Chains A and B, each alone.
Chain A
Amino acid sequence: MNIDLIIGIINIVLIATTPLVFAAIGELVTEKTGVLNLGVEGMMLVGAVTAFVTLVITGSYFLAFLFSIISGLIMSGLFAFLVLILMSNQVATGLALTIFGIGLSSMIGKEYIGTPIKGLNPYFFIILSFVIVFALSYFFNRTKMGLIFRAVGESHTSAHALGFSVIKIRLLGILFGGAMCALAGSYMSICYAPMWQENMTAGRGWIALALVVFSTWKPNRIIIGAYIFGGVSIMQMNLQAFGLSFPGQFFNMAPYLATMIVLVAISSNKLRIKLSAPASLTKPFFKGR
Chain B
Amino acid sequence: MLNYFPSVVVRDKPSVFINILVPVIAVILTLLTGSIIFYIMGFNPFFALYTFFISPISNAYGISELLLKATPLALIAIGLAFCFKNNIYNIGAEGQLTMGAIFGGGIGIYFYDVNGFWLLPLMIIGGAIGGALWGLIPAFLKIKFNTNEILTSLMLVYIALLILDYLVVGPWKDPNGYSFPKTRSFSESGRMPLLFQGLRVHLGLIITLVLIFISWFVFSKTMFGFQLKVSGYSPIAARYAGFSQNALIYSAFAICGACAGIAGLGEVSGPIGLLYRDISPNYGFTAIIVAFLGRLHPFGIILAALVIALTYLGAEDAQLFMQIPAAVGFVFQGLVLFYLLGAELLINYKIVFKK
8 Å CB interface, B304-355 against A: 324-325, 327-335, 337-338, 341-342, 344-345, 349
Contact of A103 among B144, B162, B328 (CB under 8 A): B328
Q: Does A107 sit at the interface, judged by CB under 8 A?
A: yes
Measured CA separation A56–B158 after assembly (Å):
31
Check if B151 sits within 8 Å of A259, measured CB to CB. yes
Check if A93 sits within 8 Å of B331, measured CB to CB. no
Given that A99-B334, A100-B330, A107-B325 are known contacts, is A93 also in contact with B148, CB under 8 Å in the complex? no
Check if A106 sits within 8 Å of B327, measured CB to CB. yes
Q: Is the interface of B mostly helix, strand, loop or mixed?
A: helix
Q: Does A200 sit at the interface, judged by CB under 8 A?
A: no
Q: Which residue of A lies closest to B171 (CB)?
A: A247
Count of B interface residues, CB-CB < 8 Å: 48
Check if A88 sits within 8 Å of B341, measured CB to CB. yes
Which bucket holds chain A's interface residue count? 35 or more
Instruction: Name the segment of B3-11, B117-125, B249-257 touching the other chain.
Output: B3-11
Check if A92 sits within 8 Å of B146, measured CB to CB. no
Check if B327 sits within 8 Å of A103, measured CB to CB. yes
Measured CA separation A72–B75 after assembly (Å):
34
Q: Does B74 sit at the interface, judged by CB under 8 A?
A: no
Q: Is the interface of A mostly helix, strand, loop or mixed?
A: helix
Contact of B154 among A88, A96, A206 (CB under 8 A): A206
Check if B331 sits within 8 Å of A103, measured CB to CB. yes
8 Å CB interface, A64-121 against B: 78, 82, 86-89, 91-93, 95-97, 99-104, 106-107, 110
A268 / chain B contacts, CB cutoff of 8 Å: 144-147
B292 / chain A contacts, CB cutoff of 8 Å: 92
Check if B325 sits within 8 Å of A259, measured CB to CB. no
Check if A38 sits within 8 Å of B145, measured CB to CB. no
Q: Does B299 sit at the interface, judged by CB under 8 A?
A: no
Nearest chain B CB to A160's CB is how many angstroms away?
Answer: 16
Q: Does A133 sit at the interface, judged by CB under 8 A?
A: no
B285 / chain A contacts, CB cutoff of 8 Å: 99
Measured CA separation A247–B169 after assembly (Å):
10
Check if B337 sits within 8 Å of A260, measured CB to CB. no
Instruction: Name the segment of A6-14, A134-142, A149-157, A248-256 touching the other chain.
Output: A248-256
Q: Which residue of A lies closest to B87 (CB)?
A: A91
Check if B334 sits within 8 Å of A97, measured CB to CB. yes
Check if B330 sits within 8 Å of A95, measured CB to CB. no
Check if B155 sits within 8 Å of A206, measured CB to CB. yes
Contact of A250 among B144, B145, B166 (CB under 8 A): B166
Nearest chain A CB to B311's CB is how many angstroms away?
Answer: 10
Q: Which residue of B lies closest to A102 (CB)?
A: B330
Q: Does B139 sit at the interface, judged by CB under 8 A?
A: no
Measured CA separation A28–B8 after assembly (Å):
30
Measured CA separation A270–B273 after assembly (Å):
46
Nearest chain B CB to A209's CB is how many angstroms away?
Answer: 6
Q: Which 9 A-B pairs have the closest CB atoms?
A: A100-B334, A103-B330, A106-B327, A96-B337, A88-B341, A249-B166, A110-B325, A103-B331, A268-B145
**A-B contacts, 24 listed (Cβ < 8 Å):** A86-B342, A89-B344, A91-B89, A91-B150, A92-B292, A93-B341, A95-B91, A99-B285, A99-B289, A100-B335, A103-B327, A103-B328, A103-B330, A104-B331, A106-B327, A107-B325, A203-B155, A203-B158, A250-B166, A253-B158, A253-B159, A263-B148, A268-B144, A273-B146
